[in-house]
Amino acid sequence: MNKALPKKVEKVLELLKKDLGDNLKIDIVERVLYEKDATAIPIETKTPQAVIFPTNKKQVQKIVEILYNEDIPMIPRGAGSCLTGGAVGLRGDEVVISFEKMNKFKIDLDNATVVAQPGVITYELQKAVEKHGLFYPPDPSSYKFSTIGGNIAENAGGPRCVKYGVTRDYVLGLEGVIKYGQTFKFGAPVMKDVAGYDFTKFLVGSEGTLGIITEAILRLIPLPKERRVLLAFFDRLEDVGRAVTKIMTSGVFPSALEFMDKACIKAVNEYKNLGLPEDKVGLLLIELDGHPLAVEQELLEVSEMLKNMGVSIQLAHTKEEEEKLWAARRALGPAISKLGTGKVNEDIVVPRSRLAEYIPAVEKLAKKYELICAIFGHIGDGNLHVNFMFDKSNPQEVEKVEKAVEELFKLTVDFGGSITGEHGVGITKKPFLKLQLGDVGIELVKGVKKLFDPKNLFNPGKVVDV
Ligand SMILES: Cc1cc2nc3c(=O)[nH]c(=O)nc-3n(C[C@H](O)[C@H](O)[C@H](O)COP(=O)(O)OP(=O)(O)OC[C@H]3O[C@@H](n4cnc5c(N)ncnc54)[C@H](O)[C@@H]3O)c2cc1C
């Protein structure tokens, strides 16, 4: 055992080790690996006391029971791809519970559901169900490495959510552990369930602060037979908002409606050598899916609609071309990272009808603070990634970004929107949650937290301070 550990923690870990053996790590090298997540904003993190890799839900129950009774805080962890500091320790007395080894799932074809352990990689589940003609739509750009548990805890979303909804819309049931090791089981593999308050949906998006999810029942839907992708290039930003409204009210329901501004087009060209027109102010990536005949017809309708607006279009003719366009969209994060040594990526949401005013207002804000700004995202559901680039070695630039972010959130709330559509509150957005929820909202959040976790031991310091 590592002698640097506090006596009390050491005693508790000795006890757990009897059951867990090699699945409990206290070596400093192992612990340091679990200190950070993918958050870009610098956070003062602390190395956890131990990292535990449970292999089944019984073990998780035992671990939580022991740690909770001994007042040792816990950080549940999936792949550590959180962008708001949700998977990191702030105090130094935490134990990380990593779900890497709980990565099994079972498909129920008759009920079109799947029962998944929290450590399942989302992409692996998607590929497996697709072999049976079934579809699990939630598609965060991190889907190739993030986990079902992390996606549920953050209520993750992605491009397809405009048509198919977010993770919450696919969670039918949850099992897990809360205070003192009490286990819960909410929901069932059924489409209708109104027995009492809907704790299943409520726990989705709780960011590991209320308890630990050990199993999920997920809903599957039929896999669309065809997918086609179209690009539309714009000379005026106002036309982007108009085009989005037109498409979304035309009777055609795109499976993705993604936006990139001028800075993003340039960055992605440089990163992937795509040859997209850099004289345009922005582009829309539009994906349509469904029955092949319907998709063909809808493609024609959307193309005509855009041409009538004076917008130029480009159709992907082959699956390779489509994949190339999607690869460009998914590469936007790293592509724009090259525009500065530091980047903040805020995932705000505003009502679609206000996008035409909102985007220029953000550009004005960036100009005011003399920051490079790149905007892209899921414009079809009003969810945009606003990126401010800065020189992170320059304290004045860091200060400017902090002020710009605060103003961005105020602007977003004034526009009737949300400070986060995907990444959650974690640590980085905690100071701004009150802007959106108000005093009463914050009190309710704290009340719920106390009910599930009276000792503040599940992911402490995230979402709200209690
Ligand atoms: C390149 C990149 C692209 C991204 N794109 C998107 C995107 O398009 N859309 C989007 O929504 N997000 C995106 N993200 C953010 C991130 O991938 C998601 O929030 C994802 O859901 C986190 O999953 P994870 O497995 O990495 O969880 P982690 O980062 O390990 O944890 C996230 C949170 O979940 C909690 N948690 C994890 N497992 C459990 C559990 N079993 N029980 C209770 N709580 C748990 C953790 O405590 C933490 O608070 C992106 C991140 C990166 C790095």
Structure tokens belonging to residue 343: 């980047």
Confidence of residue 4 (pLDDT cuts 50, 70, 90): low
Query: Closest by alpha carbon to 227, among 308, 333, 326?
Result: 326
Sequence-separated (6 or more) residues with CB below 8 Å from residue 420: 84, 346, 347, 348, 349, 429
Task: Give the position, in ligand 1's atom list, of the atom nearest the Cα of 157.
Answer: 11
Rounded distance, CA 82 to CA 141, Å?
Answer: 12
Task: Give the position, in ligand 1's atom list, of the atom nearest the Cα of 147.
Answer: 25
Q: What is the pLDDT, as a whole number, of residue 286?
A: 97
Q: What is the pLDDT, as a whole number, of residue 430?
A: 97
Ligand 1 centre to CA of 441 (Å) is: 24
Mean pLDDT of the chain: 94
Ligand 1 centre to CA of 212 (Å) is: 14
**Domains along the sequence of the chain with CATH:** 7-98 (3.30.43.10), 105-222 (3.30.465.10), 226-326 (3.30.70.3450), 334-414 (3.30.70.2740)
Torsion angle in degrees (nearest 10) through CA of 297, 299, 303, 305:
60
Ligand 1, from 39, 81, 199: best to mutate by most atoms within 8 Å of Cβ?
Answer: 81
Q: 298-354, pLDDT tens digit by residue?
A: 999 999 999 999 999 999 889 888 888 887 788 788 889 888 888 899 999 999 989
Task: Give the position, in ligand 1's atom list, of the atom nearest the Cα of 213.
Answer: 42
For ligand 1, is residue 148 a contact (CB within 6 Å)? Answer: no
For ligand 1, is residue 422 a contact (CB within 6 Å)? Answer: yes
Q: What is the largest CA-CA distance in the chain?
A: 73
Q: What is the pLDDT, as a whole number, of residue 1?
A: 44
Structure tokens belonging to residue 62: 């035992």
What is the SS3 string spanning 204-257?
CCCCCCCCEEEEEEEECEECCCEEEEEEEEECCHHHHHHHHHHHHCCCCCCCEE
For ligand 1, is residue 80 a contact (CB within 6 Å)? Answer: yes
- Residue 426 carries which side chain, given as an amino acid letter? G
Q: What is the pLDDT, as a whole number, of residue 77?
A: 98
In angstroms, the Cα distances linking 199 to 171, 363, 457 are: 11, 40, 20
3-state secondary structure of 389: strand
Rounded distance, CA 207 to CA 429, Å?
Answer: 13
Q: 272-313, pLDDT tens digit by residue?
A: 888 899 999 999 999 999 999 999 999 999 999 999 999 999
For ligand 1, is residue 2 a contact (CB within 6 Å)? Answer: no
Query: Closest by alpha carbon to 117, among 203, 57, 172, 33?
Result: 57
Alpha helices in 341-393 (DSSP H): 355-368
Query: Closest by alpha carbon to 62, among 7, 12, 25?
Result: 12
What is the average pLDDT across 92-98? 96
Cβ contact 458:209 at 8 Å: yes
Provide the pairing of β-strand 212-219 with 183-187.
Answer: unpaired
Q: Find where tokens 């009492």 sit.
A: 196
For ligand 1, is residue 149 a contact (CB within 6 Å)? Answer: yes
Cβ contact 12:66 at 8 Å: yes
What is the average pLDDT across 50-69? 97
Question: Of residues 6 and 427, which shows the higher confidence score?
Answer: 427
Burial class (CB in 10 A: 0-12, 13-18, 19+), 22: exposed
Q: 160-209, pLDDT tens digit by residue?
A: 999 999 999 999 999 999 999 999 999 999 999 999 999 999 999 999 99
For ligand 1, is residue 138 a contact (CB within 6 Å)? Answer: no
Structure tokens belonging to residue 458: 């599940």
Query: Closest by alpha carbon to 81, among 385, 348, 423, 405?
Result: 423
For ligand 1, is residue 453 a contact (CB within 6 Å)? Answer: no
Confidence of residue 129 (pLDDT cuts 50, 70, 90): very high
Ligand 1 centre to CA of 360 (Å) is: 30
Structure tokens belonging to residue 16: 């757990």
Structure tokens belonging to residue 340: 């500065």
Ligand 1 centre to CA of 69 (Å) is: 28
Task: Give the position, in ligand 1's atom list, of the atom nearest the Cα of 151.
Answer: 21
* Alpha-carbon Rg for the chain in angstroms: 23
